[in-house]
């Protein structure tokens, strides 16, 4: 059986500076896979390349058996790859409902969309309470919920979450992590990028540690969580 996402020797450069220097990993259906590492390790660049916002300078990406080379970002969503970007990037002057509707931009099944919007409100009740409010007025954590809900609206085969815990209060962060567990239980495949290594590894099936553009260590979430070098470098232990 082939993996849902296969990344092989992926390279991405900004001008002459290579930000991702040949990384390979796979995501199997139903798994939660996480990329951890410090700022500037190339995690966000990797996700932006997978969703077509950046062009790779080398290597290959296969999604659901199909190569993604040269496919523009707006068509990659249609293949079932959704991306909740770093910094949330909700549409600030549109309402919460309108933001969710935009997540379903490529769908035409009105009833299904209405049902999925309701599902997003069930997942995040606060969004339902504020559905008519401009999204820019939400708190950071609420915006993160909206960004995740919006990404789910395209009914993705693979959901990519970039730093969902960034800048959130511990309570809000816990809520977001619980949601990821809930989504996995519902069968959603997730590629999670996080700086919060502890939280990410404890719920991931597979983890990869990135350092300046390369994967330096891979293993199951539990394995990495107990790996000495990871504990030292990312979990703040001596």
Q: For tokens 């997942």, name the residue.
A: 123
Find the part of the chain contacting other proteins (CB under 8 A) among 26-34, 121-129, 149-157, 192-200: 149-157
Distances (CA, A) of 12 to 15, 35, 40, 87, 115: 9, 16, 13, 21, 38
Contacting residue, 55, 75, 115, 226, with other proteins by CB under 8 A: 75
Residues between 100 and 129 with contacts to other proteins, criterion CB under 8 A: 101-103, 105-106
**Minimum distance between the CB of residue 4 and other proteins, rounded to whole angstroms?**
19
Burial class of residue 53, CB neighbours in 10 A (0-12, 13-18, 19+): middle
**Minimum distance between the CB of residue 201 and other proteins, rounded to whole angstroms?**
26
By CB under 8 A, is residue 143 in contact with other proteins?
no
Size of site (CB under 8 A) for other proteins: 27
**Residue 217, strand partner residues:** 209
Find the part of the chain contacting other proteins (CB under 8 A) among 7-15, 51-59, 169-177, 200-208: 51-59
Token readout for 235 is 């979990």
- Round to whole Å and give the CA distance between 157 and 63: 10
Token readout for 214 is 């390369």
Distances (CA, A) of 86 to 46, 147, 166, 173: 12, 10, 8, 15
- Round to whole Å and give the CA distance between 177 and 150: 17
| Cα dihedral 80/77/153/159 (nearest 10) | 60
By CB under 8 A, is residue 93 in contact with other proteins?
yes
Contacting residue, 13, 71, 94, 166, with other proteins by CB under 8 A: 94
Residue (3 or 47) nearer to other proteins, CB: 47
Contacting residue, 30, 73, 125, 169, with other proteins by CB under 8 A: 73
What residue ranges bind other proteins (CB under 8 A)? 51-53, 72-75, 77-78, 82-83, 85, 89, 91-94, 98, 101-103, 105-106, 136, 150-151, 154
């Amino acid at each position: 059986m082939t993996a849902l996402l296969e990344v092989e020797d992926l390279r991405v450069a900004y001008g002459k500076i290579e930000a991702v220097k040949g990384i390979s990993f796979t995501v199997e259906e139903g798994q939660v896979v996480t990329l951890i590492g410090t700022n500037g390790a190339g995690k966000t660049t990797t996700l932006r390349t997978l969703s077509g916002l950046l062009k790779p300078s080398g290597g290959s990406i296969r999604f659901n058996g199909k190569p993604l080379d040269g496919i523009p970002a707006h068509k990659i969503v249609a293949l079932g790859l959704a991306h909740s970007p770093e910094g949330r990037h909700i549409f600030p002057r549109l309402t919460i409902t309108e933001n969710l509707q935009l997540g379903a931009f490529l769908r035409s099944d009105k009833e299904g969309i209405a049902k999925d919007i309701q599902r997003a409100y069930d997942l995040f009740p606060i969004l339902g309470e504020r559905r008519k409010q401009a999204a820019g007025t939400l708190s950071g954590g609420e915006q993160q919920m909206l960004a995740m809900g919006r990404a789910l609206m395209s009914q993705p085969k693979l959901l990519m979450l970039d730093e969902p815990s960034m800048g959130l209060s511990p309570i809000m962060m816990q809520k977001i992590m619980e949601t990821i567990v809930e989504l996995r239980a519902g069968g959603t495949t997730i590629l999670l990028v996080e700086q919060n290594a502890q939280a990410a590894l404890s719920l991931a099936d597979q983890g990869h540690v990135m350092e300046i553009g390369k994967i330096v260590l891979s293993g199951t979430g539990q394995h990495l969580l107990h790996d000495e070098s990871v504990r030292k470098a990312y979990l703040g232990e001596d």
